[in-house]
């Protein structure tokens, strides 16, 4: 299976998870009701960490309580008298995650992993499966999407039961997710068309800055990770306002860019477009990602070919399922055009052998075994 195969599985996985949301959330709901948390910690790194950061604002809104997203190496203290910890790792073998689960054992912990046999599961009070299936191609794509969706569904089911959201709010959120499911395959098609038009330019990228506002900054962080893992170039993601205060001054002729536009009703929409236009005067390898209609043009009216215009549910919390696609498809298809397909994974394996990033396959007792 290739990265592209996994990307193309996402629409069906998304629909299936929505249909099976009650079963997926059942064990989590039981523990959530039993613990009655007043704060939640999402502990994760890498793609799982980016998924946690993207999901956190929605969870906070639904549960009406603080939701913190931290890398395992940054959890120095847990606040609140009734915290609940979600340790999120698709593979469930990260050394830092296993160590964190042991270090934090006095708190209620739920493992959120992609495998029933993951070592992390044995170190936590219970586990919830990310409904993504196996993903062995290296850089994770469907795992990112399905982790965010799972966290959303866990929040919605518990929020409805506990009364932190109304039945009407629950149905509104669910309707938006169903719209995303219906649009998913079309958005993959739109992204493929954009990539075909720009593949030569994308293959020539030497380094990129990514800028987004709010939730889109979290998505940009995952986009930067996908690019670094596969195209093996430097990439840095910024909140748009922070980007204007310094990083944008370092733009050069070989500094490409991606701008994840907010809604055209947002006060920063025009400023971000103007920043992208300014960047294009310095380097032509500058791309815009936005929802349909956000370019202020009718669908049949032609836009700049570097602009990737995707369908949107109309709700900001579904942006991760839309805006990540250009970066996922770049990770799947551009390395081969650059003649480096698979080389990023080779580098990661070499680092893993040297430093022991992952727990060795087959360790059943959850002990951290370094290579």
Which sign, positive or negative, has the C-alpha torsion 78, 79, 82, 83?
negative
The pLDDT value recorded for residue 348 is 79
Look up tokens 């994760």; give the residue. 44
Average pLDDT over every residue of 331-339 = 94
The pLDDT value recorded for residue 295 is 60
- Residue 179's nearest CA partner among 309, 318, 8 is 318
Cβ atoms of 230 and 334 closer than 8 Å: yes
The pLDDT value recorded for residue 320 is 97
Average pLDDT over every residue of 99-124 = 95
End-to-end Cα, the chain, rounded Å: 26
Distance CA 40, CA 59 (A): 9
**Residue 293 pLDDT greater than 70, yes or no:** no
Distance CA 31, CA 25 (A): 10
Tell me which of 362 and 113 has the higher pLDDT.
113
Give the number of other CB atoms < 10 A from CB of residue 232.
13
Tell me which of 317 and 302 has the higher pLDDT.
317
Q: How many helical (H) and strand (E) elements, i.e. helices and strands, does the chain have?
A: 13, 10
Task: List strands edge to edge, sheet with 126-129.
Answer: 67-70, 39-43, 83-89, 109-113, 126-129
Domains of the chain: 3-165 (3.40.50.10490), 186-340 (3.40.50.10490)
Look up tokens 């500058």; give the residue. 286
Q: Specify the pairing of strand 67-70 against strand 39-43.
A: parallel
Cβ atoms of 108 and 125 closer than 8 Å: yes
- Counting residues of the chain whose pLDDT is more than 90, the rounded percentage is 83
The pLDDT value recorded for residue 351 is 80
pLDDT band at 364 (very low <50, low <70, confident <90, very high): very low
Average pLDDT over every residue of 36-62 = 97
Q: Where are the alpha helices (DSSP H) in 163-266?
A: 167-203, 215-230, 240-244
Helix (H) or strand (E) holding 238: strand 234-239
Give the number of other CB atoms < 10 A from CB of residue 329.
22
């Amino acid at each position: 299976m290739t990265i592209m195969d996994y990307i193309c599985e996402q629409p069906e996985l998304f629909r299936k998870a929505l249909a099976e949301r009650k079963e997926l959330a059942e064990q989590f709901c039981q523990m959530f009701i039993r613990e009655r948390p007043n704060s939640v910690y999402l502990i994760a790194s890498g793609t799982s960490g980016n998924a946690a950061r993207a999901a956190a604002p929605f969870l906070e809104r639904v549960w009406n309580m603080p939701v913190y997203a931290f890398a395992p190496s940054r959890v120095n203290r847990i606040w609140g008298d009734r915290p609940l910890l979600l340790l999120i790792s698709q593979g469930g073998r990260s050394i830092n995650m296993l160590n964190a689960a042991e270090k934090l054992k006095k708190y209620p912990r739920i493992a959120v992993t992609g495998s029933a046999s993951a070592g992390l599961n044995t170190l936590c009070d219970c586990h919830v499966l990310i409904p993504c299936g196996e993903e062995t191609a290296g850089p994770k794509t469907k795992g990112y999407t399905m982790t965010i969706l799972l966290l959303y569904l866990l929040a919605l089911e518990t929020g409805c039961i506990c009364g932190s959201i109304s039945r009407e709010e629950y149905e509104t959120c669910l309707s938006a997710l169903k719209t995303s499911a219906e649009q998913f395959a079309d958005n993959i098609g739109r992204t493929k068309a954009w990539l075909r038009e720009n593949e030569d330019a994308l293959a020539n990228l030497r380094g990129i800055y990514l800028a987004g506002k709010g939730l889109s900054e979290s998505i940009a962080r995952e986009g930067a990770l996908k690019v670094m893992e596969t195209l093996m170039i430097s990439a840095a993601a910024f909140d748009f306002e922070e980007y204007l205060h310094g990083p944008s001054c370092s733009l050069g002729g070989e500094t490409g860019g991606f701008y994840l536009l907010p809604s055209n009703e947002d006060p920063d929409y025009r400023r971000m477009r103007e920043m992208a236009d300014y960047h294009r005067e310095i380097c032509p390898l500058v791309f815009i990602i936005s929802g349909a209609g956000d370019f202020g043009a009718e669908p049949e009216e032609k836009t700049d070919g570097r602009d990737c215009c995707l369908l949107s549910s109309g709700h900001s919390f579904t942006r991760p399922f839309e805006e990540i696609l250009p970066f996922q498809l770049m990770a799947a298809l551009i390395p081969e055009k650059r003649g480096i397909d698979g080389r990023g994974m080779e580098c990661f394996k070499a680092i893993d052998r040297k430093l022991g990033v992952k727990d060795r396959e087959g360790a059943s007792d959850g002990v951290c075994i370094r290579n």
